[in-house]
Structure 1
């Protein structure tokens, strides 16, 4: 039996996971025919090199738990990739020649750490960001011709490398020294002596904390302009900041929603990525004239985009109904992996529901056949600073195939609806998001979409946390709970998680567990575990640094002590798996668990 015929014989929902996929190819700035992309072609997500001139592609990494974090040197001579251990996100940067060869440690003088940004200069300058529980955040510089990294930045709070200027003389750092991990400030250092050139901090002098982010230095020699994202008007927008003179150029783009940008390679314009109400589109902004020109893309979501030296734009596009594809404005598909294509799914419907904090946006998918009320899965996104969009997702599509409606809620805390919506999470963490989910749940039942006796609360990471918290605080609302890699015991999670997430928790809750114990108790699923009525299925990565295993075990022990219906699946990886068959197994376990407790169709049935 051929691979393709075997693919066709498997259930449609599994075919979506197994179908070969590729990321948007990154290209080397000085050698644009040399590209790097991620693909699951072997069944595990790994890095691949692509020589566009010859058409040759080759697999760069080959590890049991996969590899996705990599980049090219500007000259295209080498590929850098991050090597952790079994998905624990703690490791070192490795380097391999573009044409192939042995891997070697890229920065021999640096011990393993969590990554916090990387910048490789054209002239040989290297800047590496690191994070460890012992040292906090550090940034290290390797100057051209030197072998030994020099520490140029250190702070207990979160920080990382933003970018390196075109000539390698300036280093931009994002930091949260002010203690608010949700809103970064910027500092620019000289590479020659690590002296401070400029500071930009929107958290000072106002009544509200505003964030900044580095979008990239101008791609021109001698140009000291830095493209920066800011929130000064209640949403993310780009501006130009000349770090040498301090001059700020406000672009004031007349687009609703959040706006990000990157430079065109010749510096004449900006590629604008505009996200609004769960969809995205592209524009070109002419710096000389201020003109804004639409870059035509299909309706749906552009998850990533890049401008090429010839002025064309390559972008990764999908919709809830149509699988992802890498397209070009020059025409056609840029990179089409061989093998069977992913079957399509059903489109999403937009629903707006009045919630306690304002209008809540939800995306709804209905089974292609039948009429409601349906068994319904509330699939809760992670982050929390993220949002569900009109983009292809194999997980929700699997539920739809099995006769479920799927509802995804962009609760307060989600991005894409303005800074006030995103920042609303402070102090009553988890409880705020669940108020919005409850409002959409009430609509789903009242509208006839959802069967109130067959409602599933499901999610991964922060979505898994909200699932467990919802089962305990809204015990009569949910028939089944499915929580993957969740926060289950907030205090223990804080003790064991990576340092950057501790900083985020202090920001969200207003301090550490010792400083505000009542807030951690109010927001911890463990507080409400004895109220849980629904059967619970938990999935946990034993090497997870974000939602560590010990705090999940604490929650499971409490369920077991009171004889609550639950099952636990532990897998040997970190915060999610890069192995296709492992992902399929986890979805199948969730489908089967729901089927047994709701009387619906099991996986593959």
Structure 2
């Protein structure tokens, strides 16, 4: 029997080669860039569609996923940080291969905040963020040109897009102090060699200076010469929808499709139609919208989730699709599989069931996967991160691993999640963490009462914000959980705030209404370390020592408090940032989590 044949299915799902949706160069559509784990580490790959040649672009110990093709297809830009700390510089490499060189000379290392490359490669706009400078945007004219600052502000901001002719830059900013709801500013940088300040061409701020909780997002300039239309996402009717804004005339055209849920869009290459992505109740689908006659035509896709999609110059649509039961695949409306990586194929898993539970803030949507047999089952509540994210009917190797080991898995789209309207996403302000736990608690009660979950064998688990909610839940709801598994969590909110990257400080100020010095009682109420002495369940924590989002010091503070009272706990520290891009490392972490839960629950481990 080969090693692959002997490998358990849960491990095969992680090791099986995967690919992202290929990004293609706007003016050289046969040149594409994608991400794959084919070597055991997620790295960037170049693909020449004309010849079929594929080439690995990056090769770093901790992996690389941030990359951009220049519109002319000549260059691959990729972000070079140190061991996953997300702090670094942009590098570039010729599409055909060659040496990596710094993409912009004269820019100090920083956290990335957007990148836009002109169609001729001569104009580049780079956004960055540091604690010392706040948010900055620089424009570079010509190869080897010096970066010129065109924007600076203490609050978070980033590059939205660059117009087709490279003359206009749109910036998403939160100058009003609400990091959850961006406003837009369109600038015309001065010509190369001029010392004039950039001209402000247009402004769009649905938040009215922060007095309303309405945000905007950049979906892209029209890909047509001389076209000043900008596709924008807005929340004016309580959910995300697109509008077309002509930044030269100020004219706005809101697009109403009659679809429930959130709607996003991107341009077809000719600028005459939009590819619409509709997300509703944890599933998604595609539509084509023709701007001339306002007609909406469905693009047939299987039931499940489309995580990425793009319209090709020939009118076909390529999209990355999966469901909880079936692994991801890059498909085309032409009927073909666009990229099918060689090697082991990921085994499928069980489909999800929908559960709707009445909670204190309204109906809570949860996704449930059941193992074979009759319940009640030991059950893992796998809590998503973000918090502005949501679990969907999409393939996920982690939950599938728990199902293989005989656990039911419940994933809760608590208040704060996206996909259920603006009010649901914005509901967790000021009582951060506690509101989410109310929804998780309501779903827990349903899971036990329905006979799905064994109340004596409930595992609370999550990563990032999900790890934070895990530690908070173990202290706030100590009688509800038998085991806690927290990956890269916020554990000591005050220390985390002072040590985290600047963009997350801005988000925390928005969520909690100020800094720890301004609203200490809110930080105390929302911090897991406040409740650490109430924790009864055994706790497993994993953390990256280079994590800029949930820094290691605040995790150590929490662990020290557990140790001081002799609480059952284990800690795994690894040399990476906010998670790992190395497949073997991820498998190790899942194995350690499952083993810990099995031992604490008194269950015999499975293969």
Q: TM-score, normalised by structure 1?
A: 0.98
Structure 2, unaligned runs of 5 or more = 191-196
Of 209, 215, 219, the residue aligned with 1:215 is: 219
Offset from partner CA, 1:462-512 (integer Å, 9 cap, x none): 000000000000000000000000000000000100000000000000000
- What residue is the counterpart of 1:565 in the other structure? 568
SS at match of 1:597: helix
Offset from partner CA, 1:250-271 (integer Å, 9 cap, x none): 1111110000000000111000
1:146 Cα deviation from its structure 2 partner: 6.0
Of 90, 93, 109, the residue aligned with 1:93 is: 90
Are the aligned partners of 2:463 and 2:487 in contact in 1 as well (CA < 8 Å)? yes
- What residue is the counterpart of 1:81 in the other structure? 78
SS at match of 2:381: strand
- What residue is the counterpart of 1:252 in the other structure? 256
- What residue is the counterpart of 2:451 in the other structure? 448
- What residue is the counterpart of 2:597 in the other structure? 594
Are the aligned partners of 1:163 and 1:171 in contact in 2 as well (CA < 8 Å)? yes
Q: How is 1:76-475 mapped onto 2 (pairs within 5 angstroms)?
A: 76-123=73-120, 124-144=122-142, 147-192=145-190, 194-204=198-208, 208-367=212-371, 369-475=372-478
Are the aligned partners of 1:8 and 1:15 in contact in 2 as well (CA < 8 Å)? no
- What residue is the counterpart of 1:490 in the other structure? 493
Give the whole-Å Cα distance in 2 for the aligned partners of 1:347 and 1:323. Answer: 11
Offset from partner CA, 1:418-469 (integer Å, 9 cap, x none): 0000000100000000000000000000000000000000000000000000
1:9 Cα deviation from its structure 2 partner: 1.2
Residues 1:34 and 2:36 are matched in the alignment? no
1:191 Cα deviation from its structure 2 partner: 2.6
> Taking structure 1 as reference, are residues 207 and 77 closer, same or farther at Cα in structure 2, changes over 3 Å only?
closer
1:205 Cα deviation from its structure 2 partner: 7.0
- What residue is the counterpart of 2:194 in the other structure? none
> Taking structure 1 as reference, are residues 429 and 206 closer, same or farther at Cα in structure 2, changes over 3 Å only?
closer
SS at match of 1:595: helix
Give the whole-Å Cα distance in 2 for the aligned partners of 1:422 and 1:402. Answer: 33
Give the whole-Å Cα distance in 2 for the aligned partners of 1:250 and 1:432. Answer: 33
Give the whole-Å Cα distance in 2 for the aligned partners of 1:11 and 1:495. Answer: 42
Are the aligned partners of 2:387 and 2:465 in contact in 1 as well (CA < 8 Å)? yes
- Comparing 585-594 with 184-193, greater Cα deviation is found at 184-193
Of 58, 68, 74, the residue aligned with 1:71 is: 68
> Taking structure 1 as reference, are residues 168 and 439 closer, same or farther at Cα in structure 2, changes over 3 Å only?
same
1:387 Cα deviation from its structure 2 partner: 0.1
1:208 Cα deviation from its structure 2 partner: 2.7
Are the aligned partners of 2:93 and 2:101 in contact in 1 as well (CA < 8 Å)? yes
Are the aligned partners of 1:402 and 1:601 in contact in 2 as well (CA < 8 Å)? no
1:8 Cα deviation from its structure 2 partner: 1.9
Offset from partner CA, 1:64-113 (integer Å, 9 cap, x none): 00000001000101100000000000000000000000000000110100
Are the aligned partners of 1:168 and 1:191 in contact in 2 as well (CA < 8 Å)? no
Give the whole-Å Cα distance in 1 for the aligned partners of 2:267 and 2:17. Answer: 30
Offset from partner CA, 1:389-416 (integer Å, 9 cap, x none): 0000000000000000000000000000
- What residue is the counterpart of 1:9 in the other structure? 6
Offset from partner CA, 1:136-189 (integer Å, 9 cap, x none): 000000123661000000000000000000000100000000000000000000
Q: How is 1:524-543 mapped onto 2 (pairs within 5 angstroms)?
A: 524-543=527-546
Offset from partner CA, 1:21-59 (integer Å, 9 cap, x none): 000000000000000000000000000000000000010
Of 21, 24, 34, the residue aligned with 2:18 is: 21
1:562 Cα deviation from its structure 2 partner: 0.2
Give the whole-Å Cα distance in 2 for the aligned partners of 1:583 and 1:205. Answer: 43
Are the aligned partners of 1:490 and 1:551 in contact in 2 as well (CA < 8 Å)? yes
1:310 Cα deviation from its structure 2 partner: 0.2
Give the whole-Å Cα distance in 2 for the aligned partners of 1:448 and 1:189. Answer: 58
Give the whole-Å Cα distance in 2 for the aligned partners of 1:146 and 1:343. Answer: 48
Q: How is 1:574-585 mapped onto 2 (pairs within 5 angstroms)?
A: 574-585=577-588
Q: TM-score, normalised by structure 2?
A: 0.98
SS at match of 2:427: helix
1:16 Cα deviation from its structure 2 partner: 0.3
Of 488, 507, 525, the residue aligned with 1:504 is: 507
| CA RMSD, 1 decimal | 0.9
- Comparing 388-397 with 200-209, greater Cα deviation is found at 200-209
SS at match of 1:425: coil
Are the aligned partners of 1:188 and 1:198 in contact in 2 as well (CA < 8 Å)? yes
- Comparing 184-193 with 124-133, greater Cα deviation is found at 184-193
SS at match of 2:469: helix
4+ aligned runs moved over 3 Å, structure 1? none
Structure 1, unaligned runs of 5 or more = none
Are the aligned partners of 2:178 and 2:210 in contact in 1 as well (CA < 8 Å)? no
Give the whole-Å Cα distance in 1 for the aligned partners of 2:210 and 2:87. Answer: 37
1:207 Cα deviation from its structure 2 partner: 5.6
Are the aligned partners of 1:366 and 1:400 in contact in 2 as well (CA < 8 Å)? yes
Offset from partner CA, 1:114-154 (integer Å, 9 cap, x none): 00000000131100000001000000001236610000000
Give the whole-Å Cα distance in 2 for the aligned partners of 1:205 and 1:290. Answer: 32
- What residue is the counterpart of 1:43 in the other structure? 40
